[in-house]
Structure 1
Amino acid sequence: MRRVVRKWGCVCVLTLAWPWLAAAQQAASSAVTPAASPPLAASTPAPAGALLPGIPFAAADAAAVTVPSAANAWGGERSGSETTLSDRVVSYRIDAELDAAKHAVSGRERMTWRNRSDRPVDRIYVHLYLNAFQNEGSTWFTEREVLTAHGRSRGAAVLKKGEWGWIELRQVKQGDAALKWRFVQPDHGPATDQTVAQIDLAEPVPAGGTLTLDIDFLSQLPRVVERTGWFGDFNLVAQWFPKVGVLELAGERGATAPQWNVHEFHFNSEFYADFGLYDVRLTVPSDYTVGAVGKLQGPPETANGKSTYHFMQGDVHDFAWVAAKGYKTLDGSWQGPGSPKVDVRVIYPAEYAASAAPVLKATTDSLTFFSDSLGAYPYQTVTAVVPPYNASEAGGMEYPTFFTADGYARVEPGTLTQYALDFVTIHEFGHGYFYGILASNEFEEPILDEGMNEYWDDRMLRGRGQDIVAASGWMKRLGIAPVIRPFAAERLIAGLRKPPDPLGANAWDRLSSSSYGTVYARTATAMHDLEERLGKPALERAMHEYYRRWRFRHPSVADLRATLAEVSGNRQAVDAIFDQYVYGTAQIDDRVASIDAVEVLPQPGTVMKDGKRSELDAGALDRQVDSQRRSWNKAHPEAKPGSGPFPWRSTVTVRRDGAPVPQLLRVTFADGSHEDVRWNDARRWARFGFVRPAKVVSAELDPEQKILLDANKLNDSLASKADGAASRRWSADAAALLQAFYALVGSL
């Protein structure tokens, strides 16, 4: 999901207690299956508080995993010689038809699921995501009420009459047996939430066995409020079919025994599912343009004003599609080492025709960068969709081989609009790696997808030399075009001062939506600083190995940590970042506290010389000092103040108000020379002394700007005479970001 300036334009964190959620979490246990809500089909719900037998749910507060996964997790590493890219667990064969007037999709689904566990399974759980939009009693709406009151976020639209969305299970059959189902709340959300259903099986699935279900369903799309839905003749059909939850085994993402990972649809969360095969037929009005996950299997079949498109894609974990009347397409292709030929398509409305070519170029450029820097792109297609005006909340979303971008009526090279369009396109394509191929659990560890993807996007922009140029409005008229580099922009919106939640926290259990939003920028900033500590080559080797080792296998934060430490050979640096920021809420704030300088002059008193004691007279010493000064000044007419015939004893004091971090202190002397010293210990303060021919005139921590996690860069430097250079520099960066925000808002 995107995090662009207009989405998280202002990060504001306020203190708020969630009484209902806190109470639920206190009662939560990963070993307890919660009570069911009233049933949808004819079945008897368990009484409140009853314990239902079976495999338990993942904990309601599950988050950053600390124990690396087992070597055989998810079938073990993929060598590339297997018949399929992933160890496929599920397959979906779906026939669906869009009622364009009602924005409703009727579907028939045959789901085949493999029980990977060592025990029989007598029930399964399916996600019914669209029920988040059926009324305001869902977990999604209940959390939105709290979170949007204390921080900005997408998904703030108000649904009116005729704009709600839902998904109905009309029939579920196992062979000839009609099955019963009930709604459950694995995360102890409100009983009115119906985004997860438990289906009781007529025959248990034995260990290693296969289950086949035939499901008839109806999906009513909501008016676009977040991620999915319709506006006018535009339909983004996402999270639209009953999708089985993930049965995790011991040794996978911290699980110690089989558990169902099937969280409710939270306001800030996204998705997590098993790899499999999708074979989908979509019937739509013949005058609609269609795009979807995967590869189109020949031309559509057309009859009676309707066209049926057949898409297939293996080794993915979701399927989304678009059907829009009057939309156009722009096609391209790409191929790189180790990848198949990739067909690239952009689907766009006429009002955003100017965005089509830039989106196509940014997508093909991303294919090159991600394939070179992480690993080969394994699929044959990429489809990018530009939503129409008034449906921007459908933009900036990711699905395997398919994503939505942003749209602009005018895109001029070198402008803020160009940067914004490129950034969102790169970001959403990048999800194809971190969310798609690596298949991180976005519910529990958004750092692995949104955060790591943001970091890798910034590296691509840095490699391109593509900075934010706020060249519009009054600044442009005055000939001022503030420029800010991608990582500098990230730190300005990262919420580095007293963050309320660790980066590794799950998506929903956070102080506010703004706190969730900082996962993007704070992760990018933390990884930038880790790269500076490890060195660029070591970091790149480690990320190559992370992709190779964990593609198609759902890694955890602990797996990323272990790979980075092992490959870089610098476990200390990796552990420091993860302990302090991923698992903790540390902040860095080192500062130069003071500079003291004293000229070392001859002092009155007695001295022993050649066995005799003599007394130095103060008046005589003053005359001697004056004489030496006159002679020196005459010999050095161009000398700068602060230098002279006598040495200077200078002391620089530094203070630490946060977590320790290896620091470089650069001390500059009056004669223009400088000296670098290291502050690599955990002291809360330190003093560094210098005796030189010239006095210290300034001192600066982190002169090479490698530590962007520092919450306040303005106090990193100090001069013996007032010097506003540092404050001007960072103020200019902040002004550039603010100007960029206003220019972007003005372009919408």
Structure 2
Amino acid sequence: MRLATGRGGLWLAAVVLLWSGQALAQTAAQPAAAAATDAGGEIPFAPAHDTMITQQSAPNAWGGERTGNEPTLSDRVVSYTIDATLDAPKHAVTGKEHMTWRNRSDRAVSSVYFHLYLNAFQNEGSTFFTERAVEAANGGSRGLAHLKKGQWGWIRLQQVQQNGAALKWSYVHPDGGPDADQTVVRIDLAQPVPAGGTLALDIDFLSQLPRVVERTGWWGDFNMVGQWFPKIGVLELPGERGAAQVRWNVHEFHFSSEFYADFGSFDVHITTPSDYTVGAVGQLQGAPEQKDGKTTYHFMQADVHDFAWVAAKDFKTLDGSYEGPGSPKVAVRVIYPAEYVASAAPSLKSSIDAIGYFSRTLAPYPYHTLTVVIPPYNADEAGGMEYPTFFTSEGYKEVEPDTANQMASDFVNIHEFGHGYFYGILASNEFEEPILDEGLNEYWDNRMLRERQQDLVLASPFTKWLGITPHLKGFEFERLTATLRHPHDPLAQNSWDRLSGMSYGTVYSRTATAMHDLEERLGHPALEKAFKLYYQRWHFRHPSVADFRAALIDSSGDAKDVDEIFNDYVYGTRVMDDRVESVDAEEVLPKVGVSWKDGKETEVVADDLDKQLDKQRDDWKKAHPNAKPGDPGPFPWRSTVTVTRDGVPAPELLRVTFEDGTHEDVTWNDDRRWARFVFTKPSKAVSAELDPDQHNLLDTDRLDNSVSNKPDGAASKRWTADVAAVLQTLYSMLVTL
């Protein structure tokens, strides 16, 4: 998901730097020793706060590794058959849902828990709005649209039946949220579901979309329908994602959280006005059926864990396709409003390119469709959101090559498609471990940009006209927004127990930076191989951070470097800051005083030594009449470089450059807080730089990584020339006017 106007990636992550929020709402007590249990249930909830997982899952978790020989891509736990009808003027959806769910546990289940995500938007007493208010009071944040009368959203259960018997339900608060929150509901069953048995429920519901707040909602005749149906929670078993016992993982809808659900299948009929354009997760089954000014669309998709759709009047479509080894032919469709026609073709291209890159570097894309939705103006909060085979992007009225708009469009499309792997196929728990989706996806997106040699462009059409097109490497920009100097929360922390929205935002940039540095330590091919092993083990399952760490170690064989990154940054909040303190040089000259050689005493006095040195210098100049400044002289030089360290150690390369243009590299790879390196050379050292190839982007201050004793005005001259060029252009414009 895209940060800032929805969530974010590389381009809009800069907004993080402007946020000054100090605390997210803490709506419950601090971490408890044991998981809470709902008063009406027998199975405990997953912990609300103590969510960091350090023990890897059991080999048979979620049915064990998928080999490709199974009859289905995933172990389908749940299925939904839904008939949905959109009341376009009211932006409301009437739904009839038939759900089947398999009890994977070894015990009977008498109550089940469902997410009712839309209730986050029904009033300001929800967990979502309560946490949002705290964030807003401390400096502002994303998603701060103010809902007015008639703009709230909610979902109402109208009837729930099990085998024809009406069931009762009640709202619960697994995370200790406010009593007004109704995003989690317990349904008490008429007949318990035995171990290994299957539950079937029939649910009538009404979903009222909010004015677009975040992820979902309406604006004008645009309806983004996400998190709109009652969705069952996940029953985790011992050995799965840190669980020591059977437990319900069914968190409230927090302000900074996303989602988590079982794999299954969806069979959905959607009825809308006939003049609306419709797109959804999955494949359209046959031709849409029209009757009385309404059209019914039938979509199906298996081996996914969510379903979303869009219905918008007067939207247009642009179609393309992807074909690649191991994948079915993928039909790619962009749905867009007329005002953003400029974004349609670039979005189609970058999405198809993303399918190819992720298919080649992780595994072939397994689905037949991909739908990209560009929301209209004033519905930005619906943009930048991912669902399986379906995502929302963002639109621009102009998308010219090598401009900031093109970069933003490309990155959002790549980022949201990438979620199809890290959130979709590698179905991590986004509530508890956003690092596994937002963080790893951000890292892989930047690898794709690096391969494309596509930098962050800080230019607009106007600045291009002025002849100014500044660029910045993707990983360099991630580093700038990663708050490396004072991280408040570990990367493995859940999404809501964080100091601020700014701290949550670093899940993107700080993870990308940490993975970049791990890649530099392990090597580019080794790191890619490790990610492929992670995917192989955990696709169509639900990994944890500990499972990701184990895959990195098992693939690379380098437990030391992996553990350092995880202990310091993933599970910890440590910082790195190495610097070059000084570069000193002195000629190696004979010394005054007494010395012994071959049993004889020799004394050198200062006056005699000065005369001797002067003669040697004169003789050398006569012998080297064409010598230039910096060439080796009559005496060698002893240069001393002092480096110091604050924070955690990291392997460092120190490059020392000498006056004659040569350089020498030495490695500083120990846990000393300071070190001195001495060089005796024909020429003196004039500069020293730590990490000249920028392997360690986690270094909090790279400006102190180098010291030079030789003035270099190239940078100031370049910037002066750039500024002068801009001023000359502006003056020319004024004269013309």
TM-score normalised by structure 1 residue count:
0.93
Q: 1:122 aligns with which of 110, 119, 127?
A: 110
Which position in structure 1 is the counterpart of 2:729?
none
SS of 1:646 mapped into structure 2:
coil
- Whether the 8 Å CA contact 1:7–1:152 is kept in 2: the answer is no
Mapped to 2, the partners of 1:516 and 1:262 lie a distance apart of 21
Q: CA deviation at 1:615?
A: 1.6
Q: 1:640 aligns with which of 629, 651, 666?
A: 629
Q: CA deviation at 1:52?
A: 4.1
Mapped to 2, the partners of 1:301 and 1:13 lie a distance apart of 49
The reply to whether residue 189 of structure 1 matches residue 177 of structure 2 is yes
- Whether the 8 Å CA contact 2:21–2:141 is kept in 1: the answer is no
SS of 2:657 mapped into structure 1:
strand
Mapped to 2, the partners of 1:259 and 1:184 lie a distance apart of 15
Mapped to 2, the partners of 1:414 and 1:26 lie a distance apart of 49
Mapped to 2, the partners of 1:19 and 1:299 lie a distance apart of 48
Mapped to 2, the partners of 1:216 and 1:699 lie a distance apart of 71
SS of 2:421 mapped into structure 1:
helix
The reply to whether residue 9 of structure 1 matches residue 15 of structure 2 is yes
Q: 1:448 aligns with which of 433, 436, 451?
A: 436
Q: CA deviation at 1:122?
A: 0.5
Q: 1:146 to 1:729 in 2, by over 3 A?
A: farther
Q: CA deviation at 1:16?
A: 4.1
Q: 1:432 to 1:731 in 2, by over 3 A?
A: farther
Which position in structure 2 is the counterpart of 1:40?
none
Which position in structure 2 is the counterpart of 1:470?
458
Letter in 2 for 1:697: V
Which position in structure 2 is the counterpart of 1:704?
693
The reply to whether residue 562 of structure 1 matches residue 550 of structure 2 is yes
- Whether the 8 Å CA contact 1:11–1:151 is kept in 2: the answer is no
Mapped to 2, the partners of 1:317 and 1:564 lie a distance apart of 26
Q: 1:666 aligns with which of 649, 652, 655?
A: 655
Letter in 2 for 1:644: G
The reply to whether residue 98 of structure 1 matches residue 86 of structure 2 is yes
- Whether the 8 Å CA contact 1:224–1:394 is kept in 2: the answer is yes
Mapped to 2, the partners of 1:181 and 1:416 lie a distance apart of 50
The reply to whether residue 355 of structure 1 matches residue 361 of structure 2 is no
Which position in structure 2 is the counterpart of 1:249?
237
- Whether the 8 Å CA contact 1:341–1:380 is kept in 2: the answer is yes
Which position in structure 1 is the counterpart of 2:669?
680
Instruction: Structure 1 unaligned segments of length 5 or more: list them.
Output: 35-50, 734-748
Which position in structure 1 is the counterpart of 2:315?
327
Which position in structure 1 is the counterpart of 2:404?
416
Which position in structure 2 is the counterpart of 1:394?
382
Letter in 2 for 1:338: G
Which position in structure 2 is the counterpart of 1:163?
151
The reply to whether residue 484 of structure 1 matches residue 472 of structure 2 is yes
Mapped to 2, the partners of 1:63 and 1:216 lie a distance apart of 34
Which position in structure 1 is the counterpart of 2:725?
none
The equivalences for 1:601-612 within 5 A come to 601-612=589-600
SS of 2:413 mapped into structure 1:
helix
1:656-711 CA-to-partner distances (Å, cap 9, x unmatched) read 11110000000111111111111000111111111112211110000111111111
Mapped to 1, the partners of 2:167 and 2:718 lie a distance apart of 66
The reply to whether residue 266 of structure 1 matches residue 266 of structure 2 is no
The equivalences for 1:380-391 within 5 A come to 380-391=368-379
The reply to whether residue 649 of structure 1 matches residue 638 of structure 2 is yes
SS of 1:589 mapped into structure 2:
strand
Q: 1:728 to 1:70 in 2, by over 3 A?
A: farther
TM-score normalised by structure 2 residue count:
0.94
The reply to whether residue 25 of structure 1 matches residue 29 of structure 2 is yes
Which position in structure 2 is the counterpart of 1:134?
122
- Whether the 8 Å CA contact 2:78–2:100 is kept in 1: the answer is yes
Mapped to 1, the partners of 2:197 and 2:275 lie a distance apart of 44
SS of 1:93 mapped into structure 2:
strand
Mapped to 2, the partners of 1:429 and 1:488 lie a distance apart of 22
Instruction: Structure 2 unaligned segments of length 5 or more: list them.
Output: 3-7, 723-737
Q: 1:244 to 1:506 in 2, by over 3 A?
A: same
- Whether the 8 Å CA contact 1:642–1:695 is kept in 2: the answer is no
Mapped to 2, the partners of 1:501 and 1:727 lie a distance apart of 38
Q: 1:591 aligns with which of 558, 565, 579?
A: 579
Mapped to 2, the partners of 1:353 and 1:52 lie a distance apart of 53
Q: CA deviation at 1:625?
A: 0.4
Q: 1:622 aligns with which of 598, 610, 618?
A: 610
Q: 1:474 to 1:285 in 2, by over 3 A?
A: closer
SS of 1:313 mapped into structure 2:
strand
- Whether the 8 Å CA contact 1:714–1:730 is kept in 2: the answer is no
Which position in structure 2 is the counterpart of 1:344?
332
Q: CA deviation at 1:607?
A: 1.8
- Whether the 8 Å CA contact 2:19–2:140 is kept in 1: the answer is no
SS of 1:384 mapped into structure 2:
strand
Q: 2:709 aligns with which of 720, 724, 727?
A: 720
Q: 1:79 to 1:373 in 2, by over 3 A?
A: same
Q: CA deviation at 1:386?
A: 0.5
- Whether the 8 Å CA contact 2:21–2:137 is kept in 1: the answer is no
Mapped to 2, the partners of 1:660 and 1:412 lie a distance apart of 44
Aligned residues: 715
Mapped to 1, the partners of 2:490 and 2:427 lie a distance apart of 21
Q: Give the stretch that moved more between structures: 234-243 or 694-703.
A: 694-703
Q: CA deviation at 1:610?
A: 3.1
1:22-55 CA-to-partner distances (Å, cap 9, x unmatched) read xx23264543225xxxxxxxxxxxxxxxx44411
SS of 2:272 mapped into structure 1:
strand
Q: CA deviation at 1:417?
A: 0.8
CA-based RMSD of the aligned residues comes to 2.0
Which position in structure 2 is the counterpart of 1:427?
415
SS of 1:26 mapped into structure 2:
coil
1:109-138 CA-to-partner distances (Å, cap 9, x unmatched) read 011000000000000000000000000000
Q: CA deviation at 1:631?
A: 2.0
Mapped to 2, the partners of 1:634 and 1:575 lie a distance apart of 60
SS of 1:299 mapped into structure 2:
coil
Letter in 1 for 2:660: D
Letter in 2 for 1:303: K
Which position in structure 1 is the counterpart of 2:726?
none
**Identical-residue share of aligned pairs (%):** 67
- Whether the 8 Å CA contact 2:103–2:198 is kept in 1: the answer is yes
The reply to whether residue 205 of structure 1 matches residue 211 of structure 2 is no
Q: 1:151 to 1:545 in 2, by over 3 A?
A: farther
Mapped to 2, the partners of 1:235 and 1:426 lie a distance apart of 23
Q: 1:457 to 1:201 in 2, by over 3 A?
A: same
Q: CA deviation at 1:14?
A: 5.6
